[in-house]
Amino acid sequence: MTTKDIQKAVYDNKVAHGFNVTDVNFEFCLMYGEVAEAYDAWLKKKDDLGSELADVAIYLLGISEILGFDLGKEIEKKMAINAKREYKVVNGVKVKK
């Protein structure tokens, strides 16, 4: 299954269950909540961290499908850019040159 296939499956599931597929702002807010839940699971060493990370990915894939992006291709392009990028350390943190 490709990333694009997964995006479509996420979108189709949202439609089938009557969830939002038009309000992108709302979807970003919901995804933010899922990121917070994943962080909490990691911080508290909960057993459901994997599930929470999956929720974050599901929201990201859904938003990508709503907006018409092939997230897999976008990731590949960005990784190619990052592989060539140079960094410097500022106050102990690596930042782009």
Domain locations along the chain:
3-70
Q: Write the single-letter amino acid at 57.
A: A
Please state, in angstroms and rounded to a whole number, the distance separating the CA atoms of residues 77 and 14.
Answer: 27
pTM for the model stands at 0.91
CB neighbours of 42 closer than 8 A, spacing ≥ 6?
A: 49
Answer yes or no: are the C-beta atoms of 52 and 41 closer than 8 Å: yes
pLDDT digits (tens, 9 = 90+) for 31-59: 999 999 999 999 999 999 999 999 999 99
Backbone angles phi, psi at 92, to 5 degrees: 80, 5
Write down the pLDDT at residue 88. 94
pLDDT digits (tens, 9 = 90+) for 5-20: 999 999 999 999 999 9
Nearest Cα neighbor of 61 from 17, 42, 53, 49 is 53
CATH architecture of 3-70: Orthogonal Bundle (1.10)
